[in-house]
Structure 1
């Protein structure tokens, strides 16, 4: 096996091996401090393994790994965030209870997360996707508070629903293949001509949209992110949602295109982009605001995927992956920043808030940031018609949401004592923040086809500035409506459904009692007959 092949294989094998070593008490006691090392082979593979690298595991495993451009882009960003967040977790979680269990769930989630970017066969993809889905429960519910247990329960129930949809879709995909475990690319090539095509695509979109957090399947994000420990929130929002993104990239037939399903993805994406902003600006907690921001950003990725699927443009997935890298690093940096801000006070707070604000506003397209490059790279794909305008307004919404986040974080830190966050937490955060600001510049020419300096042209800057200015005006207007704050609970439609549950059950019981009473009352039948005759007579007279 070549060096590149070894790196790709170690992407999955090292975190699994570290998990197995946790049965040894001495290793388990040090596992938390070693989390930073687990993603290193994945980062090296993303940087140095050539595109098209294939790794075959012999029977009985029959696992095939590959590295293509969108997979390498997402793998590199994910590995960098996992490593930095692992270093942050070693300091943040030190001295807290159940750290060994946290480290094990972390390693399992990491293995599944990175595995989704490199696995090439159906059975293995389902295995690693299920691993990241179920192991993340341990990170969400780690605190064992009532909030964490509720968030974990909601998450795992929805994850199982998604797994069921994907299992059925994968079985239908593999049904026409002569191989027991076919390669993903082979079955996807036959999907457009399959008699079960529409059913398979619907199940795939349902399963992967749930992981991405597309409306109305988003409800686990605003519950899970605030409940999880800070470093876990960073990887859940920055990386775990990308399992849904790579799933759609891998399993939808972008080579041939499906205009109808592309339109569906675009519509769901637009609704999600706006919904995340509208609900997010009503939230009171910084981590919840970031969760709804992730919902909104995943909406934009769904729009881009829908355009590529509708037009049959396989090259469009590289743009999706590029935007995904930007979101991974920025959102991971923002979640870690919440922890840094909470542990900092006095004069040291100002530079922390400044860097946090730069990261936050990059999601709205702040010039010279990775967000500016990501927004400019999407402009030709989105076009300059109604869709392009709609997504520019959504960018204004992102600015509004991030201004709300900055105000919330600053307000929460106003009473902090004159303290400074430990260097063991600050350094990983700075690494992620620096990567978020620098890495997309190196990737921009290859993805967009334009030189990086083109982002500094006046017309390019104007395309970025006017939506941000619109978002700033919206923020000024929002501050006049104090009643908006806290008007929608975390989890929105799920919480509403839970609150309405008892009333619905009482209504059902009441209807049953009324029906039983009417059945025992002989006059009821006569009254109903009279009502029916009266209605019929009214209709005849009206005509």
Structure 2
């Protein structure tokens, strides 16, 4: 698959590995130590460290570009850790370094308070996220996955608003459920012989509890990947979290669930998994399409982007489902999923950070609009963008694999229709963001240029990545009329549908406010979780009324017992004595003696 990078001297390679994980943790520690200080000098140092926190992502980026492939042991880390730069971890680690680094650069000038704390939390999350992508053994993978997940909860509740606390509670509930499923699956996998990740898929395939492990893996990692119906935390967490945190949540952290599937599921083994492949494919396609009507009814750009992530992750999950159904397509589906993940991470991070540029930092309106438009077209898969490469590869990777419950309808024929939904969501996003007011202060030029490069120039690294996977990964012809049409008709159809809806909303009485300006109570963010919360509140009200009825019944019984004649004086005195410490101790001692005597007599007769 992908070839290794430049060979480095052993000492320099070790330094890169140490700094890749050590630099973000060291900077986070510095921010934590200076956070307790109140003097002007300490505050000035904390501000400088916060402004330069993005530099902690540089060592991992250098490692991705220059590090040698293969496994490497780090004995002092996590009681012994094995890491690797393989064809899966290397591009995703590069994505993490790029997105986290740029998001950290957006922290100091953002509207959110306590930027030092936010930067420290993001650095810890970044180190754990790197560990998920680069781990080579199950223990390291699980510990990093857990650290990343629970640090993400602190990012969600950073603003401490009521909506953030609610989103944090739901995020924690879903995370705990997912972590429990992942832990159970990992323990069973290790018992079956999958200590190293390279052996995990075969171990799961040969394990007696194979179906149980696969079900746990799909559910556990499905929480992090935003798979329906486990997606409910996503549209609540994204608008609640600060914008830089939303960028890494959607652009990078969601990919941890995908990596978990790739590392642990029996992809490419001799035995196909028709049941679980069909289940994952069904959930993936439901998420890919169902997120669209819910997302277009939202009026917050970050919520719309969250539902767009659910839809896009549905396309990624569909590739994993195909790999389970048809083992012969596993390699090409994994390659296509990695390329798609890198493309989606770049485009979605550019869109989220663009919301902050639009809302908080003053750049020319035409400049921000142009970059957002290119990032949006890339997300849809328009020609000459990174999405053009990624979506073409995904469709080609699915090959002739059919949907079992749809009469063998090819998955490749269904995936482009997810692009139609993506176009509707992006059109809604553009409408909402265009109507928002803009501030008057400016942003540093360098940061804006790097953000623009993330949204515009992602096509080059994504196309290079797709070429590095050859011959398993298909790369489109850049100027082929047939390919252009195959990639463009979802975009054109989605735009036509968006224009039709907009025209209908503008001309039909009574529709304008509900289509263009929907109230939050039509479909609230989190969709099904609102229904679940109503059920929980109803159950709580029912239980409280039941407890009140039991209390009334208990008082009535006690009143009746008070009318019963008082026991004999001797019995009453015995009860009073037993109720003391000495009396109860004596009674307990007599019981123990009686038990010992009984056991002795029973043994003697035996």
**TM-score interval, smaller chain:** 0.7 to 0.9
Give 1:508 deviation, angstroms: 7.0
Distance 2:275 2:497 in 1: 34
Given that 2:100 and 2:248 are in contact with CA atoms closer than 8 Å, whether structure 1 keeps it comes out as: yes
Which residue in 1 is equivalent to 2:499? Answer: 476
- Give the aligned partner of residue 492 of structure 1: 527
Q: Does the 8 A contact of 1:277 with 1:292 survive in 2?
A: yes
Q: 2:361 matched to 1:352?
A: no
Q: Which residue of 1 aligns with 2:156?
A: 140
Q: Which moved more, 1:128-137 or 1:5-14?
A: 5-14
Query: Which of these residues, 276, 280, 288, is aligned with residue 291 of structure 2?
Result: 276
Residue 469 of structure 2 aligns to a residue whose secondary structure is helix
**Residue 69 of structure 1 corresponds to which residue in structure 2?**
87
Q: Cα 1:102–1:246, aligned 2, differ >3 Å: closer, same or farther?
A: same
> For residue 519 of structure 1, what is the aligned residue in structure 2?
none
Unaligned runs of 5+ in 2: 1-9, 35-41, 401-408, 506-510, 551-606
More deviation, 468-477/495-504: 495-504
RMSD of the alignment, in Å? 2.7
Partner of 2:26: 17
Matched residue SS, 2:72? strand
Query: For 1:46 and 1:381, how far apart are their aligned partners in 2?
Result: 26
Question: Residue 501 of structure 1 is aligned with which of 520, 536, 553?
Answer: 536
Q: CA deviation at 1:45?
A: 1.8
Equivalent residues of 1:81, 1:235 under 8 A apart: yes
Distance 1:59 1:410, change over 3 A: closer
Alignment of 1:214-363 (within 5 A): 214-256=227-269, 257-312=272-327, 313-343=330-360, 348-363=364-379
- Provide closer, same or farther for how the CA distance between residues 150 and 126 of structure 1 changes in structure 2, counting only shifts above 3 A: same
Which deviates more from structure 2 when the two are superposed, residues 99-108 or residues 363-372?
A: 99-108
1:173-230 CA deviation, whole Å, 9 max, x = no partner?
12244xxx92122343222111011111111111110001111111111111101111
From 360, 371, 394, give the equivalent of 1:378: 394
Instruction: Say which SS state the counterpart of residue 73 (structure 2) adopts.
Output: strand
- Deviation string 1:4-62 (CA, Å, 9 cap, x unpaired) is 34423432222223333345425645431232112212211221223324234259822
Tell me which of 198, 202, 210 is aligned to 2:215: 202
Q: Is the 8 A contact 1:36 1:83 kept in 2?
A: yes
Report if the CA contact (8 A) 2:380-2:491 is conserved: yes
Q: Please give the alpha-carbon distance, in whole angstroms, between the structure 2 residues aligned to 1:131 and 1:190.
A: 25
Please give the per-residue CA displacement for 1:246-294, whole angstroms capped at 9, x wherever unaligned: 1111111213042322222111110110122121111101010001000
CA contact (8 A) 1:74 1:321 kept: yes
Kept in 2, the 8 Å contact 1:87–1:428? The answer is no
Match in the other structure for 1:403? 427
- Aligned twin of 2:3: none
Question: Which moved further from structure 2: 469-478 or 498-507?
Answer: 498-507
Change (3 A) 1:506 1:18: closer
1:119 is displaced (CA, Å) by 1.0
Deviations 1:497-519 (A, max 9, x none): 2134334555677899999xxxx
Which residue of structure 2 aligns with residue 524 of structure 1? none
SS at match of 2:84: strand
Structure 1: where are the runs of 5+ without partners? Answer: 516-543
Matched position secondary structure for 1:241: helix
> Residues 377-411 of structure 1, C-alpha deviation per residue, up to 9 Å, x if partnerless?
11212347542222111111111111111111111
Say whether the 8 Å CA contact 2:168–2:237 is kept in structure 1. yes
Cα pair 2:247 2:353 within 8 Å, conserved: yes
Report the CA distance shift for 1:425/1:374 in structure 2 as closer, same or farther (over 3 A). same
Contact 2:343–2:387 under 8 Å retained in 1: yes
What CA distance in whole angstroms lies between the structure 2 residues aligned with 1:99 and 1:418? 21
CA contact (8 A) 2:281 2:321 kept: yes
The equivalent of 2:57 in structure 1 is: 39
Deviation at 1:89, TM superposition (A): 1.5
* Distance in 1, Cα, partners of 2:474 & 2:260: 30
**Which fold has the larger relative contact order, with Cα–Cα distance below 8 Å and residues 6 or more apart in sequence?**
1
Contact 2:107/2:119 (8 A) holds in 1: no
Q: Distance in 1 between matches of 2:456 and 2:314?
A: 26
Structure 1 length-normalised TM? 0.87
Equivalence for 2:478 = 455
Contact 2:267–2:324 (Cα < 8 Å) also in 1: yes
**What number of residue pairs does the alignment pair up?**
509
Question: 1:117–1:510: structure 2 CA closer, same or farther, 3 Å change rule?
Answer: same
Deviates more, 1:60-69 or 1:296-305: 60-69
- Cα distance in 1 for residues equivalent to 2:455 and 2:134: 26
CA distance in 2, matches of 1:38, 1:137: 22
| Stretch moving more, 39-48 or 365-374 | 39-48
- What is the TM-score with the length of structure 2 in the denominator? 0.78
1:86 aligns to what? Answer: 104
| Secondary structure of 1:171's aligned partner | helix
1:422–1:39 CA distance, 2 compared to 1 (3 A): closer
Tell me which residue corresponds to 2:554.
Answer: none
Number of the residue aligned with 2:445:
423
Distance 1:33 1:159 in 2: 31
Stretch of structure 1 that moved more, 472-481 or 327-336: 472-481
| Range with bigger deviation, 289-298 or 17-26 | 17-26
Question: Any idea what the Cα deviations from partners look like across 1:424-468, whole Å, max 9, x if unmatched?
Answer: 642342232244243213223233648867132001100011111
**Residue among 180, 189, 195 paired with 1:182:** 195
Shift of 1:469: 1.2
Q: Which residue of 2 aligns with 1:364?
A: 380
